[in-house]
Structure 1
Amino acid sequence: MRFGVYLLVLLLANGELTTIYGQDGAAKNPKNTEPESLLQALRAPDSLKTLDKANIASELWEFYQSSSPEQLHLLSSATLRSGDSALFRTYNRRVLDLPINQTTAYAKGVAHWDLADFLKRSLPDSAFYHYQKAYGIFTEIPLEDTATHYPGVVLLDIANLKNGIKDYFGAERDQVEAINYFETTQRTDRLFNAYNSLAITQKDLNRFDKSLAYHQKAKSFISKSQKSKQALHAFINANNMASVYLSKKEYHTAFIQFDSLVNEKSFLQTKTLRYAKLLASRGYAGYLSGALSKEEALIDLRTSNQILDSIENNYAKARNYEYLARIWAKEGDTINSIAAASQAKSIAQTTQNNERLLSSLQFLTLMDKEHSTAHAKDYFRLAKEIAQKESDIQEKFALIRMETDDVIANNAKLKKRNELYAGLVLAIIVAGLGVVTIVVQRIKNQKLLFKQKQQESNQEIYKLLLSQKEKLEEGKKSEQKRMSEELHDGILGQMLGIRLIMSGLNDRTDEDSIQQRAGLIDKLQEVEEEIRTISHELNEASYGKVDNFMRSIQELIDNTKTASKDISIAFDHSEDFNWDGLPSETKINSYRIIQEGLSNCIKHSNCKNISVGFHSEKKNLTLTITDDGIGFNSKANKTGIGFKNIHSRTKKLSGLLHITSLPSKGTQIKVTFKKPSETSIVYPQTSKQPA
Structure 2
Amino acid sequence: MKFTLLFLFFSICILNAQQSENLNKIDSIHKYISSIKSSDSLSIAHQHYQIGELYRYALINDSAYYYYQKAKKVFKQFDNRFETSVTLYRLAGMQAYDKDYTGSEVSAFESIALLEDLPQTNEIRKFKAYNYNLLGIIFDELELFEDSIKYYDLALSIKMGLEGDFERSIGATLNNLVKVYRRSGQFQLAKDTYNQIISNKSLVNSHPDIYVLALGNYGKTLYESGDLEQLPGIYLKALKITDSINDSYNSIILHQHLAEYYNDNNLTDSAKYYAYKAKEISKDYANDDLLKSLMLLSKIEEGEKATKFLEQYVTLSDSLQKAERAIRNKFARIRFETQQIEQENIRIARERMWLIIISVILLVAALLLYVIISQRAKNKELEFNRQQQEANEEIYNLMLAQNDKIEEARALEKKRISEELHDGVLGRLFGTRLSLDSLNLNPSVEAIKTRGQYIDELKTIEEDIRKVSHELNTDFVSGSGFVDIIETLVETQTNAYGLEYDLSHDDDIHWDGVSNKYKIHVYRMLQEALHNIYKHAEATKVDVSFKLKNDVICLIIKDDGSGFDVNKAKSGIGLKNMNSRIGEVEGNLHIESEKEKGTTVTIEIPTKIEV
Shorter-normalised TM-score: what interval? 0.5 to 0.7
* Helix, strand or coil at the partner of 2:39: coil
Is 2:47 the counterpart of 1:111? Answer: yes
In structure 2, distance between residues paired with 1:425 and 1:378: 68
Match of 1:427 among 361, 368, 388: 361
Deviates most, 152-161 or 362-371: 362-371
Is 2:116 the counterpart of 1:177? Answer: no
Match of 2:183 in 1: 247
Deviates most, 183-192 or 91-100: 91-100
Match of 1:403 among 337, 350, 370: 337
Is 2:36 the counterpart of 1:95? Answer: no
> Per the alignment, do residues 91 and 162 of structure 1 end up closer, same or farther by CA in structure 2, a change over 3 Å counting?
closer
Q: Is the 1:73–1:111 Cα contact (8 Å) retained in structure 2? A: no
* Helix, strand or coil at the partner of 1:166: coil
The within-5 A match list for 1:48-447 is 69=1, 72-83=4-15, 89-91=27-29, 93-102=31-40, 105-120=41-56, 121-141=58-78, 149-186=82-119, 187-229=124-166, 231-269=167-205, 272-293=208-229, 296-348=230-282, 350-371=283-304, 372-433=306-367
**How many correspondences in the alignment?**
371
In structure 1, distance between residues paired with 2:207 and 2:60: 31
Q: Is the 2:256–2:275 Cα contact (8 Å) retained in structure 1? A: yes
In structure 2, distance between residues paired with 1:441 and 1:138: 45
Match of 2:597 in 1: none
> Per the alignment, do residues 253 and 171 of structure 1 end up closer, same or farther by CA in structure 2, a change over 3 Å counting?
same
Alignment-mate amino acid for residue 201 of structure 1: I
> Per the alignment, do residues 383 and 434 of structure 1 end up closer, same or farther by CA in structure 2, a change over 3 Å counting?
same
Following TM superposition, the consecutive aligned residue runs of length 4 or more in structure 1 with deviations greater than 6 angstroms are 435-445
> Per the alignment, do residues 363 and 249 of structure 1 end up closer, same or farther by CA in structure 2, a change over 3 Å counting?
farther
Alignment-mate amino acid for residue 81 of structure 1: C
Q: Is the 2:160–2:170 Cα contact (8 Å) retained in structure 1? A: no
In structure 1, distance between residues paired with 2:68 and 2:149: 29
* Helix, strand or coil at the partner of 1:269: helix
Q: Is the 2:175–2:213 Cα contact (8 Å) retained in structure 1? A: no
> Per the alignment, do residues 124 and 82 of structure 1 end up closer, same or farther by CA in structure 2, a change over 3 Å counting?
closer
Task: For residue 268 of structure 1, report the CA deviation from its aligned partner.
Answer: 2.1
In structure 2, distance between residues paired with 1:392 and 1:208: 28
Deviates most, 389-398 or 436-445: 436-445
In structure 2, distance between residues paired with 1:335 and 1:87: 44
In structure 2, distance between residues paired with 1:250 and 1:362: 26
Task: For residue 89 of structure 1, report the CA deviation from its aligned partner.
Answer: 5.0
> Per the alignment, do residues 232 and 306 of structure 1 end up closer, same or farther by CA in structure 2, a change over 3 Å counting?
closer
The within-5 A match list for 1:611-630 is none
> Per the alignment, do residues 271 and 98 of structure 1 end up closer, same or farther by CA in structure 2, a change over 3 Å counting?
closer
In structure 1, distance between residues paired with 2:210 and 2:88: 25
In structure 1, distance between residues paired with 2:272 and 2:188: 26
Deviates most, 420-429 or 197-206: 420-429
CA deviation string 1:112-141 (max 9, x = no partner): 223222223442211111111222343345
> Per the alignment, do residues 232 and 201 of structure 1 end up closer, same or farther by CA in structure 2, a change over 3 Å counting?
same
Alignment-mate amino acid for residue 312 of structure 2: D
In structure 1, distance between residues paired with 2:159 and 2:87: 20
Q: What TM-score, normalized to structure 1?
A: 0.49
Deviates most, 165-174 or 411-420: 411-420
Identity of aligned residues (%): 23
In structure 2, distance between residues paired with 1:129 and 1:183: 26
Deviates most, 313-322 or 177-186: 313-322
Task: For residue 410 of structure 1, report the CA deviation from its aligned partner.
Answer: 1.6
In structure 1, distance between residues paired with 2:125 and 2:199: 30
In structure 2, distance between residues paired with 1:108 and 1:437: 43
> Per the alignment, do residues 259 and 334 of structure 1 end up closer, same or farther by CA in structure 2, a change over 3 Å counting?
farther
Q: Is the 1:96–1:112 Cα contact (8 Å) retained in structure 2? A: no
Task: For residue 335 of structure 1, report the CA deviation from its aligned partner.
Answer: 4.9
In structure 1, distance between residues paired with 2:38 and 2:107: 27
In structure 2, distance between residues paired with 1:232 and 1:346: 29
Alignment-mate amino acid for residue 101 of structure 1: S
Alignment-mate amino acid for residue 210 of structure 2: R
| Structure 2: gaps (5+ residues) | 385-611
Alignment-mate amino acid for residue 216 of structure 1: D
In structure 2, distance between residues paired with 1:71 and 1:422: 39
CA deviation string 1:28-81 (max 9, x = no partner): xxxxxxxxxxxxxxxxxxxxxxxxxxxxxxxxxxxxxxxxx4873443234323
Q: Is the 1:76–1:95 Cα contact (8 Å) retained in structure 2? A: no
Q: What TM-score, normalized to structure 2?
A: 0.55
CA deviation string 1:471-506 (max 9, x = no partner): xxxxxxxxxxxxxxxxxxxxxxxxxxxxxxxxxxxx
Task: For residue 376 of structure 1, report the CA deviation from its aligned partner.
Answer: 2.5
In structure 2, distance between residues paired with 1:352 and 1:189: 29
Alignment-mate amino acid for residue 351 of structure 1: D
Match of 1:558 in 2: none
Q: Is the 2:291–2:313 Cα contact (8 Å) retained in structure 1? A: yes
* Helix, strand or coil at the partner of 1:266: helix
**Rg larger in 1 or in 2?**
1
Match of 1:673 in 2: none
Task: For residue 285 of structure 1, report the CA deviation from its aligned partner.
Answer: 1.8
In structure 1, distance between residues paired with 2:370 and 2:47: 52
Q: Is the 2:268–2:300 Cα contact (8 Å) retained in structure 1? A: yes
Task: For residue 271 of structure 1, report the CA deviation from its aligned partner.
Answer: 7.6
> Per the alignment, do residues 416 and 224 of structure 1 end up closer, same or farther by CA in structure 2, a change over 3 Å counting?
farther
CA deviation string 1:206-238 (max 9, x = no partner): 111110011111122124423322x33331221
Match of 1:22 in 2: none
Q: Is the 2:139–2:145 Cα contact (8 Å) retained in structure 1? A: yes
In structure 1, distance between residues paired with 2:228 and 2:354: 72
Task: For residue 385 of structure 1, report the CA deviation from its aligned partner.
Answer: 0.6
Task: For residue 418 of structure 1, report the CA deviation from its aligned partner.
Answer: 0.7
In structure 1, distance between residues paired with 2:104 and 2:25: 32
* Helix, strand or coil at the partner of 1:228: coil
> Per the alignment, do residues 288 and 443 of structure 1 end up closer, same or farther by CA in structure 2, a change over 3 Å counting?
closer
Q: Is the 1:189–1:226 Cα contact (8 Å) retained in structure 2? A: no
Task: For residue 257 of structure 1, report the CA deviation from its aligned partner.
Answer: 1.9
Q: Is the 2:132–2:155 Cα contact (8 Å) retained in structure 1? A: yes
